[in-house]
Amino acid sequence: MTTSVPAAVRWPGYLCALVLFVLILFARGGPNPAETDAHAVTYPTTAIANGQFRTAEQDTLVPNPPGYPLLTAPLLIVFHRWVASPRWCDDKAIPTILHQGPGSLFFRTLLMPCADQIVLPGHAPLPKWYRSQAILALSGWLVLEIGAVALLRSAGRGRSIGELALVLCLAALPAASDTIVQSFHPQDLMSVGFSLAALSQAIRRRWIAVGLLFGVAFLCKQFALLPLLAVLAAAPHWRDRARMLVPAAGIVILGVAPFYLADSVDTMRALSGVYAQGAGVTRTSTALGLLGIAEVPKLELARDTPILASAGLALWAWWRARARLLEPVPLIGLAIACLATRLVFEVSILEYYFLAVGASLLVLDFVLARPPLWSVGWIVVTRYGLTSFDTRASAGWTAVAFMALSLVPLVVGVVQVRTVRPPAPNGPRGGVVRHLTPVREP
């Protein structure tokens, strides 16, 4: 795992991982065009590329910050000739539910697959996914890979067989392709990638870089706040925390300000993470989802409770490990535990929800220089075992199984912190211990 690998071998390995990921997307039929979340990402990207910030927020139909559209709009401008279309087509059938009701015609014209273009006049043929904005989603996967590699190298395990294995594992990670093929959430890929990169810079004590990266990660998806709490606990001094928070807040303000000035209502709705217009009491197969309360209060609990739980974990970890919390293993473990709280309090089960924890568990195994048996086992059980169980068991039993699987990474992360020896009574309590400086690679 730790054997050094020359660049002449690593770079073909990176290319093979990219090819593998693209082949997996093709094997799964590409991104589903009959998925409303796709248009909530591609339409804002088109609007931003055209300088229409108000339109971009109005087209953001799901509660997402504008980070991914902002980052990919320049790519759209440069490669406009080849990937301009915000819609694409394939031979997948439109979901049956969209064939029913008074709005069926609208959905059929908006989400039509290629087969329907023959019978719906007045519509120009749509391109395949790889000739549309869907191909830009690959940038999210590249950010994920770069962030994971940066973290592995900061831990002193980079440029090795383990690094190549990690890259290939992330290419085969089911949740990574789920984010594109099923729900089209490349912003999740970017958020996880930037968060992992921020952890790598925290290990190197580059606090301004940590803040900038977490700011961009939050602009892509709000759950980046959870690993940020872990890093805030690990920072040795208050001035280090300030050097993180100020640039992080600055990036968020700069990213949000143009949209807020153009359309404050829709911008705040997108940032809130709890927008669910017209939703009443919806029972889903998680512990929180089974509660008989309206959807908005559920979403508020799902978004706010993990922050409180992560803050509690961060305080406990700071009390337990102090300066030793900046070592790679306990820091990654605490980040995993914080990210797992999101699963514990989730309101529904979607495959791409497992991305952040699954990718972080893989990184942890390779930092520990051990075969990724635990992480791969958890990934397989959550992605395939739980999905199969959900179709056969009642909602209550599915909620029990989901809760148990969500608690596993939380416990794994806590164990990584707990096994760190607390500081000696007369030892340093806030500064960085010299022998804990991360390994510098040649």
- Whether 105 shows a pLDDT value over 60: the answer reads no
- Whether 426 shows a pLDDT value over 50: the answer reads yes
Integer Cα distance of 161 and 311 in angstroms: 36
Segment 55-67 shows an average pLDDT of 91
Segment 82-90 shows an average pLDDT of 87
Q: What is the pLDDT of residue 125?
A: 75
- Whether 425 shows a pLDDT value over 50: the answer reads yes
Element at 198 (helix H, strand E): helix 186-203
Summarised one tens digit per residue, pLDDT across range 27-36 is 998 987 666 6
Summarised one tens digit per residue, pLDDT across range 259-279 is 999 999 999 988 887 765 555
- Whether 430 shows a pLDDT value over 50: the answer reads no
Which tokens is 101 given?
Answer: 């009701």
Integer Cα distance of 93 and 76 in angstroms: 28
Q: What is the mean pLDDT of the chain?
A: 87
- Whether 49 shows a pLDDT value over 90: the answer reads yes
Segment 192-212 shows an average pLDDT of 98
Segment 357-362 shows an average pLDDT of 98
Q: What is the pLDDT of residue 316?
A: 96
- Whether 169 shows a pLDDT value over 70: the answer reads yes
- Whether 26 shows a pLDDT value over 50: the answer reads yes
CB environment 237-274: b (16+ within 10 A), e (fewer): eeebbebbbebbeebbeebbebbbebbeebbebbbebb
Q: What is the pLDDT of residue 284?
A: 80
Q: What are the backbone angles phi and psi of residue 103, rounded to the nearest 5°?
A: -90, 5
- DSSP state string for 333-390: HHHHHHHHHHHHT-SS--GGGGHHHHHHHHHHHHHTTS-SHHHHHHHHIIIIIHHHHH
Integer Cα distance of 8 and 169 in angstroms: 20
Q: Which residue type is seen at 23?
A: L
Q: What is the pLDDT of residue 95?
A: 53
Integer Cα distance of 183 and 349 in angstroms: 12
Integer Cα distance of 190 and 415 in angstroms: 27
416 touches 338 (CB < 8 A): no
- Whether 439 shows a pLDDT value over 80: the answer reads no
Could you tell me which residue, 423 or 409, shows the higher pLDDT?
409
- Whether 93 shows a pLDDT value over 80: the answer reads no
Backbone region of residue 87 per phi and psi (left: phi > 0; alpha: psi in -120 to 50; beta: other values): beta
Q: Between 355-367 and 161-172, two packed helices, what is the crossing angle to 10 degrees?
A: 160
Integer Cα distance of 424 and 123 in angstroms: 72
Q: Between 395-418 and 355-367, two packed helices, what is the crossing angle to 10 degrees?
A: 30
Cβ neighbours of residue 331 closer than 8 Å, sequence gap 6 or more: 199, 202, 203, 230, 231, 234, 325
Q: What is the pLDDT of residue 2?
A: 78
Q: Which residue type is seen at 434?
A: R
Which tokens is 203 given?
Answer: 């290990």
pLDDT band for 111, please (50, 70, 90 cuts). Answer: low
Q: What is the pLDDT of residue 423?
A: 56
pLDDT band for 440, please (50, 70, 90 cuts). Answer: very low
pLDDT band for 309, please (50, 70, 90 cuts). Answer: very high
Q: What are the backbone angles phi and psi of residue 281, rounded to the nearest 5°?
A: -85, 115
pLDDT band for 435, please (50, 70, 90 cuts). Answer: very low
Highest mean pLDDT among 57-66, 100-109, 208-217, 290-299: 208-217
Least confident of 91-100, 220-229, 239-248: 91-100
3 state SS of 4: strand
Segments making up each domain of the chain, as ranges: 136-275+285-422
Q: What is the pLDDT of residue 119?
A: 45
pLDDT band for 91, please (50, 70, 90 cuts). Answer: low
- Whether 106 shows a pLDDT value over 80: the answer reads no
Which tokens is 156 given?
Answer: 């002193």
- Whether 114 shows a pLDDT value over 80: the answer reads no
- Whether 96 shows a pLDDT value over 60: the answer reads no
Summarised one tens digit per residue, pLDDT across range 363-408 is 999 999 999 999 999 999 999 999 888 888 899 999 999 999 999 9
